[in-house]
Structure 1
Amino acid sequence: MKPIAISGDIIQQGDRGFDRAIMDTLFNQWEPGRRPDMMVTPKTIDDIIDTIHYARKEGKHISICSGGHSWSANHVRNNSVLINMRKFDTYEVNREAMTAKVGPGVGGSTLLTALFDQDLFFPAGHCKGVCVGGYLLQGGFGWNGRKLGMACENVIGIDVVTANGDYIHANEHHNSDIYWAARGSGGGFFGVVVAFHLRLFKKPAYCGSITHVFDIQHLEEVFRWAHEVGPSVPDAVEFQLLTSRKVLKFLGPGIEAVAPIFADTKDELEEAKAFMLNSPIKQKAFFKTPYLKANMSSMYRFVMTHYPDDHHWGVDNMWTKASINELMPYLKGMVETLPPAPSHMLWLNWYPPKRLQDMAYSLEDNIYIALYGTWKDAKDIPNYGSWAKGWMEKANHLSTGIQLADEGLHQRMAPFVASDNLKRLDEVRAQRDPNGLFNPWHSRPTLTL
């Protein structure tokens, strides 16, 4: 007999297949060593409301997942009810209004590929399998995001079930405190979002990329060039360096300098291409492409060569505005100690604009550095499990904070929103979830009075 009379599915500790069901909510196969008391997979909003009332009555906390990476397994907590939103996987597009209503269980790649076919666009995430629920809550660093803004900036409203079990709509005019919190609080959000209302865009007229691949011996030259050119890279470009022991999946150690481009006009395209085509170090690349047109399916396929299924992952990151001379010893150390491919270091050229919207998302900087250590066998955890964390600890004095997208807060505490915004999040939580029904982040900075 189900402990909650709902139409959705329930699996509890002690039930056959429980451990596998929980691990199936994780992209990262590193065993978290925690388990909820049960997992509820609701089919209806009433299922969610009933689950919230049950958890409150039983004195249990609530965690939520929709499907994605969740490197730290933030949603897998002890003494909790896990609400798995994967069945809320439908979306509606209003082409005339240029909006969409999207369930949290919709894959970002599924949404964007469908929009692309309709000559529409949304800055969905870069990886297949990442559903929009957690992606939008943490901010959303998506395709063409430097020009279109953070994905959460293009959330114009949410439908959400609160800690009281109330089903409400939140936007800038109604329940604006929850709307503010939902855009950037990530796994610390205190409600169950059942739908996101999104602003859509026209598909860019030109979509493609340029790639230059360098041998690892040119590391210092490549990163010095990237740091120098970074401030002038047009917003239509997502310029990044990806360093691994097997570039292009099968070659040796090197650096992939990749420039995805999303341009609306021919002039914008030519401007976006120029910094790569005129690069003073391009002759040192052993593999070069011209600008190649691409659709979203091919772009997703390229990205996913770096993120295979059924692996263990140790991930951490940092924002920085440090000089290249300050960063260089750490970049070299990170690369020299890289675990086997497809482990990699990502350098993302960001240089954010002044954000015009007031939202929880509030911490970013000129350059983003992320470390993705990965290995197949659990026995290699002692060898590679602390690589990302260890280097981020060493470089912490150069960091201005982290992205919640690739957080490792279960291993290392770091700031992820501005202090004033964290204080405001605490105030909204105290109003909306005074008894702490919803689990917060694994760790967080301590606010000073």
Structure 2
Amino acid sequence: MSDHEGAGESEAEECLMPERVPAQGTEGIDGTDGTDGRIEGQIVQRGDAGYESVRASMVWNALKPQRFPDVIVRASSERDVPRAIGLARSRGLRIAVRAGGHSWFGSSVRDGGLLLDLSRLRRLDIHRDSATATVQPAVTGGELMSALAQRGLAFPAGHCPSVGLGGYLLSGGLGWNSGALGPACSSVVEIEAVTANGEVLRCDKERNADLFWAARGAGPGFFAIVTSFRLALYPLPQSLMTTTYAFPLADVERVTDWVTETADELDPTVESALVLSTAAPHMTTQSPRPRVVVAGATAFADSAEEAADALAPLQACPFAERALFSQLDEPTSFEALHDNSAAVWPPEHRYAVDTLWSQEDFTTLLTKLSDTIAECPSDKSLVLAPIPPVSSDEELLSNMAFSVLGRSYVAPFAVWDDPAEDDLNIRWLREAMSAVEPLGTGHYIAEADLTAAPTRAERSFTPQDWQRLQALRARYDPEGVFHSYLTPD
């Protein structure tokens, strides 16, 4: 595929180029796929001296899964993708795919088979005339946003800037300003995908439309390999502004009632959320820092006046005097938002995460979860509840495997750094989920704990969409070349 075809492509600006690495064969596997040439990238086989360091690097989480692929292929370019498929087929190996490695439970790291690492597919072309970008899967959201901001453009990239776009977009993508722009996958207008038989396909609403539909939300069980995404872009908001309150955790019921009622008055360009957590250092002088419920909102606007007007309903908090911390109408930037997210989800930490959609109201869910956060073993853990979780615009939710499975959404995050506390923190996550799971209607495939129950993946889609995904898997991957969704050991 040429990244410069179509209207306006002569104005494309190349921002990133993929890394080149020397080919490296291993004993017993010579890197030949049996069809059209030698793999240019690195091949690492289990038992090689460098295998474990490469395997561990496949997951951003410091908590590494105890699963071991037979072979890891680190693609040098998109040319290596069909070759790696050919290699796997010739050896009878199932394939899992990794782009940025931010799957909390390492969905791409499987026992046996071939792990195809796309982390060197990092090309980014911005087409100003058509307001689109062509990105390869390992470009991060932070890199995309930075390049776009220099050109007055934006995209609903993920809140954590180091997340690779490949897994983020395939899973739906709940990112910045998604209330106005929808899940990120709704802005995917074309993909290039390599199928189980090595065929390279262009997919959009007209061409290979079923595969295009599945790529917009199927997540880690997608049954092809996307080597590039074509994205619709949007004007860069000229003014970003935040309002933040932190209240004692005991106030969770009244705070949640107020925020959910006020959210109905907010424009879709205001992204609001509740967080149950330990108070950040700047919020209090108490020691130890107390557990709190934080109400935050960010306006994405064209002027400071417009941003302040959008946040105005949050000025009238009827119990503002109870706040341990408050900061109203604070100007910010995407860079600052990304810095804040990086502080919440720092590298070199251990993570366990799950998600829940529900038809219950947020007050019911967060009241139950407040009891668990009060007993949380790590002061870095939190419960996130975006209100509302995503756009209510049906047009922005159409023609995609991603679907909204409830009116409320919560995501507990266990975050810690001591390996000796792994069992303690994972048990906390499971107990937090057990407090609300009877009220659940499903999960979000991007961050669901697929190791918790064999039904996690299926319950991340409507029954109709799940059946359609299974039928399309049978059509595009009848021999089971690609691993399906991760399940408990």
TM-score range relative to shorter protein: over 0.9
Q: C-alpha separation between the residues in 2 aligned to 1:224 and 1:144?
A: 23
Does the C-alpha gap of structure 1 residues 397 and 268 become closer, same or farther in structure 2, counting only changes over 3 Å? Answer: farther
What TM-score does the superposition give when structure 1 sets the normalisation length? 0.94
Equivalent residue number for residue 360 of structure 1: 401
Is the deviation greater in 103-112 or in 409-418? Answer: 409-418
**Rounded Cα–Cα distance in structure 1 between residues aligned with 2:152 and 2:257:** 38
- Which consecutive residues of structure 1, in runs of 5 or more, have no partner in the other structure? 445-449
Structure 2 partner of 1:293: 331
Once structures 1 and 2 are overlaid, which stretch shifts more, 204-213 or 248-257? 248-257
Deviation at 1:329, TM superposition (A): 4.4
User: Separation in 2 of the partners of 1:231 and 1:400?
Assistant: 23
Give the structure 1 partner of residue 194 of structure 2. Answer: 161
**1:437 corresponds to which letter in structure 2?**
V
Residue in 1 that maps onto 2:482 = 438
Instruction: Give the alignment partner of residue 143 of structure 2, picking from 87, 94, 110.
Output: 110
TM-score, with structure 2 as normaliser:
0.87
CA distance in 2, matches of 1:361, 1:83: 24
Q: Distance in 1 between matches of 2:415 and 2:209?
A: 40
1:428 and 2:469 correspond: no
What is the match of residue 381 of structure 2?
A: 343
Matched, 1:381 2:422: yes
Offset at residue 275 of structure 1 (A): 2.1
Alpha-carbon distance between aligned partners in 2 of 1:340 and 1:249, rounded to the nearest angstrom: 18
- Residues 1:32 and 1:303: Cα distance change in structure 2 (over 3 Å): same
Asked if the contact 1:249–1:305 (Cα under 8 Å) also holds between the matched residues in 2, the reply is no
Aligned to 1:76: 109
Deviation at 1:391, TM superposition (A): 2.1
Give the letter aligned to residue 335 of structure 2: S
How far the C-alpha of 1:268 sits from its partner, in A, is: 4.7
Q: Which residue number in structure 2 is paired with residue 64 of structure 1?
A: 97
For the pair 1:319 / 2:360, whether they are aligned, the reply is: no
> How far is 1:364 from its partner?
3.7
Amino acid at match of 1:160: A
Of 392-401 and 80-89, more deviation after overlay is shown by 392-401
Match of 2:348 in 1: 310
In the TM superposition, what are the counterparts of 1:94-173 in structure 2 within 5 Å? 94-173=127-206
Give the aligned partner of residue 369 of structure 1: 410
Q: What secondary structure does 1:291 align onto? A: strand
Per the alignment, residue 447 of structure 1 pairs with none
State how 1:217-296 maps to structure 2 within 5 Å. Answer: 217-248=250-281, 251=284, 252=289, 253-264=291-302, 268-296=306-334
In structure 2, do the counterparts of structure 1 residues 234 and 267 end up closer, same or farther at CA, with 3 Å as the change threshold?
same
Give unmatched runs, 5+ long, in structure 2: 1-24, 32-37
Q: How many Å apart are 1:266 and its aligned residue?
A: 6.3
Q: CA deviation at 1:229?
A: 2.7
**Residues 1:399 and 2:440 aligned together:** yes
Contact 1:350–1:365 (Cα < 8 Å) also in 2: no
Instruction: Measure the CA separation in 2 of the matches of 1:104 and 1:325.
Output: 38
- Aligned partners of 1:434 and 1:282: how far apart in 2? 59
Bigger mean CA deviation after superposition, 351-360 or 405-414 = 351-360
Count of residues paired in the alignment: 444
Task: Please state how far the C-alpha of 1:313 moved relative to its aligned partner.
Answer: 1.2
Higher mean C-alpha displacement, 290-299 vs 99-108: 290-299
How far apart are the structure 2 equivalents of 1:301 and 1:324?
A: 27
SS in 1 for 2:264: helix
Cα distance change on mapping 1:228 and 1:64 into 2, 3 Å = same
Letter in 1 for 2:331: K
- Code of the residue aligned with 1:433 in structure 2: it is D
Q: Deviations over 1:332-361 (max 9, x none)?
A: 322222231211111110264143221111
SS of 1:342 mapped into structure 2 = coil
CA 1:387/1:249 → structure 2, altered by over 3 Å: closer, same or farther? farther
Moved over 6 A (4+): none
Q: Could you say what the CA RMSD is over the residues aligned between the two structures, in angstroms?
A: 1.9
Identical aligned pairs, as a percentage? Answer: 30
- Aligned-pair distance for 1:305? 1.1
Q: Using the alignment, how far apart are the partners of 1:26 and 1:332 within structure 2?
A: 30
| Alpha-carbon contact 1:161-1:168 (below 8 Å) kept | yes
